[in-house]
Structures are given as structure tokens and as C-alpha cells.
Amino acid sequence: MFELTFLGCSGGPMEGSTCALLVKPATSSYLTLKPGELLCIDGGSGLASLTETIYHEQRTSQPYSKTIELLASQTNIKSPQDICEAVVTTPFAEIQGSPFYEARKIFSCLSNYLITHPHLDHIAGLVVNSSGFDAENPKSVYGSEVCMSALSAHIFNNIIWPDLPQHKLLSLNSVNYEHPFSPSHGVYSVTMFELSHGVNYKSSAFLINYKPADARDNASADQEHMLLVFGDFESDRVSGASTNIHVWQQVAPLVARGQLRGIVVECSHGDSLNDSLLFGHLKSSDLIHELATFKELIEAEGGSINGLHVVVNHVKDLDSDVRLQILKELRDGASLHQLDIKISLPLSGVSLVI
Amino acid sequence: MFELTFLGCSGGPMEGSTCALLVKPATSSYLTLKPGELLCIDGGSGLASLTETIYHEQRTSQPYSKTIELLASQTNIKSPQDICEAVVTTPFAEIQGSPFYEARKIFSCLSNYLITHPHLDHIAGLVVNSSGFDAENPKSVYGSEVCMSALSAHIFNNIIWPDLPQHKLLSLNSVNYEHPFSPSHGVYSVTMFELSHGVNYKSSAFLINYKPADARDNASADQEHMLLVFGDFESDRVSGASTNIHVWQQVAPLVARGQLRGIVVECSHGDSLNDSLLFGHLKSSDLIHELATFKELIEAEGGSINGLHVVVNHVKDLDSDVRLQILKELRDGASLHQLDIKISLPLSGVSLVI
């Protein structure tokens, strides 16, 4: 099982809480993290978001998301549990000490970032935080060649931000699609898939394979847990490509073998939005279309999608909060397609175990 | 008089609360803003920060800064007034309605951004917010040619962010140093000065001249109020250049005539930091050195620096909070150089009248 902490899961236009996801084994505690156990997928938010989450969990021992307070008059969501079928956890409630200091300590344990694409809402926190990184504990950043080149040419270019890779505070590592790689310490094996994020934009999904220490030498498949995390992307229905079905084809056998714990996937909009305004994102019916495709492929492998966790993020904070609308549309669509899945819409600051 | 709202005044590495400053005439209310009255200087934070500030001021009618809560164990600062000699205000306390909706409404009244330099901690909020801008109320962004070219080449380049200038959601306007320009509606006349922000980095200061509506046709100088806002910069003492003394020379006569309401200036570090680690920023003794130079020039014009508001931001949120240390160093230095100035160190979320 994995514990996921959404430092941010907004699709904008609100700054400071855009997509960044901490991932660790659910069996590990933040008090006793081992090297390599903590990953961050995308870096739209970071240290400040974690500091706030620690502050609130320490005081109330309750799951906290400021999104609920700020959008109170536009939504009936009263707690993160209202829109999450996965178990909502409070992994920072037991941490003693200053939230600022403790957040920095946790970030010092974070060695590896996986970046899905270089849009600013997925990197701004990583970049601003990076001036506080420690040369004795540099961060390794992984992503596609296109993404790493963009960070090098347009961000760490001594114009938008100092060239910190040159100063060894972080390294930018291009990896190839569908060639598994192991971030430092070998706790995880990661496979990256290509996604379409609208005309001329590429994004990535990461399949994260966690190998418990006692299973790393023998490849005992039933001890491996996997998690599939998508960056921003559009539906094959909209792109006319077969990018997503290719990912589902690769991952379906893992579901059939009971290894995939869940998927984290975007759904930026409700179905009322016209397709011409999607700009490379999914709306509810697109996600259902993709999951129905996935279901067929899983069944062809002799398995079932039933019980799979589907965690939805990147909802756009526009004129009204559409989370309850998206949740209803997803549940109706799942029912129509006999998808007995567990749907969660976390908010920035929320932690889930799947 | 001006009312300043610091959407962010952190120098990093915390994301989401880096430098962005709303400026309006103190005589105007956020409930009845007139076109062109609201300016934003830098865009490190934005809509989300304003939403949080409105939320807290509505509930408590007290000045609020989350920085105080998050750094509580590292500082003895209990309220913004502890470190501000200017009047601390709560301009959003009387606003009714959803903080999210009201923040968007205020941002729809904001037509003009002045950007001091293109470092990400000064633009990230503007960029992420920009996807929510309205084509019917596009934003005009002003800055040096170097800064606007950087935004065009490295941010709004369809790689890091969509080319929104092409879609008319905002325009990038290069202005020349020391050639006054008037953002739309002519409420202000602005003059930009060149600053040095370390080796190979340029930054800008903006001298903002507010002309009340009934004084715009006749240039009655005693009705004009001025404010000088610096981007990140280093001391002439460190650079060996005369960049800053040139600014002080231009502005000294305005102080002698009683027109300058105050200056907003950075002081990223306390004096314990070694000069080799300043990276183009000021520490306390640098700021005192600059102000002592300014004092001499004002006196040469027959005026006095006494009573001038000096508002200090961009303090770095590093291992411990150095604000009280910086305040003591500045007060000691001011005393030594007979600078009878009013020093304020606002925090993100705080509003001041000067």
C-alpha cells in the first residue's frame, strides 16, 4: 500500500497549491523514513504547503484542506472524507516541533522528483524551493528529455532562475519512455509512459513499482505494489491517438495479477464544458471512457477492475467548485459501465492510503 | 498616501508567498475601486494569497499573516504591528461574500502589473493566475526590455506556459529606464530605474507618482504623492557600481519637496551573513549604507530624511526567522547615522498605509 500526500492538487488558476504529490510506502512513518522511500511527483507546490499541513494536523489531528474553507460558500464539501472513498490519513499529526523546521526535515529526506511535464503549475514549487536545497543532499529530478530540456533551457538558465544544476543542488535526468529506471537506493522501479496534453504538448505518466526491502533480490511479483500516476493529459477520444490505450494495455496485466493499488488521474472539468475549451485536459465523461477501455483490457487478461482506487486531481478552481458535480458524473458513468471502482477527489493538503 | 497590501513578501525558499505588492490610493476602498487605481508590483504570489487574506480579515477583523503561525517557535513576533511602524490596516475586513469570489472580483479590477525582474519568485503567481484572466479585461504587464523578453522567450512560450499574450489575456510592454510612462487610465505616472541584482542580473525600481483626479490637468506638485519600490538588488558597496546612488540622486529632491511617502526595499539577510553568500541581495548594513547615502543627498537638496517610511521585504525564510535581528540591526544603524526613519517589516498578507 502507498500513502499519498497531495501538497497541491489544483489545476489553477490559484497559485501555491498546484499539483505536487508525495508518495511513500504506507508502512513507513514520516518519523522514520528510510533513504529513497519518499518520492515527489510534480512540484507545483512544496515546502510551504507541507509546512501548513503539518501545522494544522498537529493542532487538530484532523485531515485539513484550506480549499474547503476558502470555497465554503461555493460547495457543500465539509471534510475531505465527503469526496474520498480511500482512507484519509493524518500522517503529520504526531510530529512534534515547529512545522517550518519539520517540513524542512522531511524535504531533506526527499531525494527524488518525477516531473510529468514542464508547465509552471507542475514545477513552480520545486523551483522556488530549490534555492533552499542542500548541496550535501542534492535532489534528482527525472522526466522526459523534452521536459528536462525545457527546465534547463527556460528555468535553470540564469534568467528565470539560477543554474542550480551547475551548482550541484539538483540534477536533471532524462529518462526514456517505457525503460524502467530506479531512483537512488532502489526502493522503487519507475516506468514512464508518453501522454498527449493537447496540440503540441507532451506529458507523462509514471508507473511506480515499490519493492519491499526483503523482496528486492528475488523478484517475487506478489510482494510488489504498483501505483500509476498521470500528468495532465487528454482523452484518446479527443486526441484521436492511441496514447492512453497503450498505457492501459501495459498496465492491465498488473491489475489482473492484483498488483496495482490504484491510479492517480486528472479530471479538470465537469461535463458541462465544451470540448473546444478542454485544452488538453479530461472532463468526467472522458475519464469514464478511458476507464471503460481499461476495464475491457483487464477483463481480457482474466482480471477485474472492481475495487481499484481511482484518485482524481487537477480540478480547475474556476468560478464555482465543480468537485461534487464531477464526483456525481463519475459515479453515474461508473454505474453505467459497471465499473465498481473506488473514487476519491482529494484536496490540497490531504493524505490518502491506497 | 498609499495603501500597500503584501500578497507575498518572502524571499523564498517557501513557495506561494513570494514578492507581490498591491498598491492603491489610501483614500480609495476595495469596495469602490476606480479603473486604474490598483497596481500590482511583481507577481510572485497573487489570487490565492489574496483569497486567504480576505478569508482571515473577514473573520477576525485583525491583520493576519500565516507566516507568524508557521514560524511561531522560531520568532517572538506575535502580530504584524510588532515589526511595523507604519499603520497596519485591514482593508478586506468589511468585504462581504465568498473570499474566493471577492478575490477574483478585486483581481478583475487590476489592470496593470509592474515587474521588477523575471526571477520566478517574482512572477510565478502572475503566470499561474493568468490562465484565469479574462480577455475582456486583459492585464498590461510593464517592465524592462530584458524582463519582458525573458517572459516572452522563457515563460509564455508554449513550453512552460501557453502563449497567453497571443491570446490577448495579457500584454507584455517594454518600457525604458527613466522615461515616465502612464499605465492605462492615467491614475499613475511611473518611472523605472535600473538596478544591479548580482553578476549578470538586472532588476528595476519603480517610482510611482499618484495624481488625484482633480490634479491631473494642472501639475500641482504638492498634490502628487510618490512611492519608490525596489526589486531585488545589491548595494553599491558590493557591486562597486553607482547604480543606486543614481536612483537616490533622482529621488532626493522629491523628499526635499515632501512628495515621497516612502520606499519599499529589500533586506534579505541579517549582518551575520558573509558577503560571498549575498548573491545580489542586501543585508542590514547594506541598507543602512544606502539610506545614509540617500540622507546626504536629501540634505544637499535642503530637505530631511526624517519621518520617511522605509518598508523592508524579501527577508529569506531560511533556518531561523531573522526579522527581529534585521529590525534591531536597522534601528541600531539608523541611530548611528542619525536616520530618524520609520521602519516596517511587513509579512505576507499584511496591509500598511504610508
Task: Find the CB nearest B48 among A15, A55, A133.
Answer: A15
Residues of chain B with Cβ-Cβ distance to A68 below 8 Å are none
Q: Which H or E element spans position A330?
A: helix A323-336
Q: What pLDDT does B62 receive?
A: 96
d(CA A18, CA A315): 10
* Nearest-neighbour CA in chain B from A271: distance (Å): 19
- Residues A228 and A207: beta-carbon distance below 8 Å: yes
Task: Find the CB nearest B128 among A47, A124, A279.
Answer: A124
- Per-residue pLDDT band at A215 (split at 50, 70, 90): low
* Nearest-neighbour CA in chain A from B62: distance (Å): 18
Residues of chain A with Cβ-Cβ distance to B72 below 8 Å are 98
Q: Give me the mean pLDDT over the A72-101 stretch.
A: 95
Residues of chain A with Cβ-Cβ distance to B160 below 8 Å are 118-120, 150, 154-155
* Nearest-neighbour CA in chain A from B299: distance (Å): 38
Contact A120 B161 (CB under 8 A): yes
Where does B215-343 have alpha helices with state H? 236-239, 243-256, 284-300, 323-336
Q: What pLDDT does A192 receive?
A: 98
Q: What pLDDT does B212 receive?
A: 79
Contact A317 B46 (CB under 8 A): no
Task: Find the CB nearest A159 among B16, B17, B150.
Answer: B150
Q: What pLDDT does B219 receive?
A: 54
Measured between CA atoms, the residue of chain A closest to residue B98 is A73
Contact B72 A98 (CB under 8 A): yes
Residues of chain A with Cβ-Cβ distance to B97 below 8 Å are 73
d(CA B321, CA A120): 28
- Whether residue A37 is predicted with pLDDT greater than 60 in this model: the reply is yes
Contact A200 B158 (CB under 8 A): yes
Task: Find the CB nearest A47 among B15, B47, B161.
Answer: B15
Residue A241 vs residues A116, A195, A271, B36, B233: alpha-carbon distances, Å: 19, 10, 21, 47, 50
d(CA B197, CA B218): 38
- Whether residue B216 is predicted with pLDDT greater than 80 in this model: the reply is no
Taking the CA atoms of A49, A53, A59 and A62 in sequence, report the sign of the dihedral they define: positive
Q: Give me the mean pLDDT over the B242-259 stretch.
A: 97
Contact A15 B17 (CB under 8 A): no
Q: Give me the mean pLDDT over the B243-250 stretch.
A: 98
- Whether residue A213 is predicted with pLDDT greater than 80 in this model: the reply is no
Where does A61-205 have alpha helices with state H? 66-70, 99-108, 124-130, 145-150
Residues of chain B with Cβ-Cβ distance to A200 below 8 Å are 158
CB burial of residue B134 (10 Å; 0-12, 13-18, 19+): exposed
d(CA B61, CA B93): 5
Task: Find the CB nearest B150 among A72, A101, A160.
Answer: A160
In this prediction the ipTM stands at 0.97
Residues of chain B with Cβ-Cβ distance to A158 below 8 Å are 200-201
- Whether residue B220 is predicted with pLDDT greater than 70 in this model: the reply is no
Task: Find the CB nearest B48 among A14, A150, A161.
Answer: A14
Q: What pLDDT does B218 receive?
A: 60
Q: Give me the mean pLDDT over the B321-331 stretch.
A: 96
* Nearest-neighbour CA in chain B from A307: distance (Å): 36
Measured between CA atoms, the residue of chain A closest to residue B126 is A15
Residues A269-317: pLDDT tens digits? 999 999 999 999 999 999 999 999 999 999 999 999 999 999 999 999 8
Structural domains of chain B in order of their starting residue, each with its CATH number: 2-353 (3.60.15.10)
Q: Give me the mean pLDDT over the A5-20 stretch.
A: 96
pTM tops 0.90, yes or no: yes
For chain B, give the mean pLDDT: 95
Contact B55 A74 (CB under 8 A): no
Measured between CA atoms, the residue of chain B closest to residue A69 is B55
Q: What pLDDT does A224 receive?
A: 81
Task: Find the CB nearest B15 among A73, A119, A125.
Answer: A125
Mutate to test the interface with A, among B7, B10, B14, B151 (most CBs of A within 10 A): B14
Residues B96-130: pLDDT tens digits? 999 999 999 999 999 999 999 999 999 999 999 99
- Please choose, from the candidates A302, A222, A208, A316, the residue with its C-alpha nearest in 3D space to the C-alpha of residue A263: A208
Q: What pLDDT does A221 receive?
A: 59
- Per-residue pLDDT band at B222 (split at 50, 70, 90): low
Residues of chain A with Cβ-Cβ distance to B98 below 8 Å are 71-74
- Whether residue A216 is predicted with pLDDT greater than 70 in this model: the reply is no
Task: Find the CB nearest A129 among B13, B131, B160.
Answer: B13
Q: What pLDDT does A219 receive?
A: 54
Mutate to test the interface with A, among B160, B232, B268, B347 (most CBs of A within 10 A): B160
Contact B124 A15 (CB under 8 A): yes
- Per-residue pLDDT band at A74 (split at 50, 70, 90): confident
Q: Give me the mean pLDDT over the A233-254 stretch.
A: 97
Q: What is the DSSP letter of A185?
A: G
Residues B185-208: pLDDT tens digits? 899 999 999 999 999 899 999 999
Q: What pLDDT does A102 receive?
A: 96
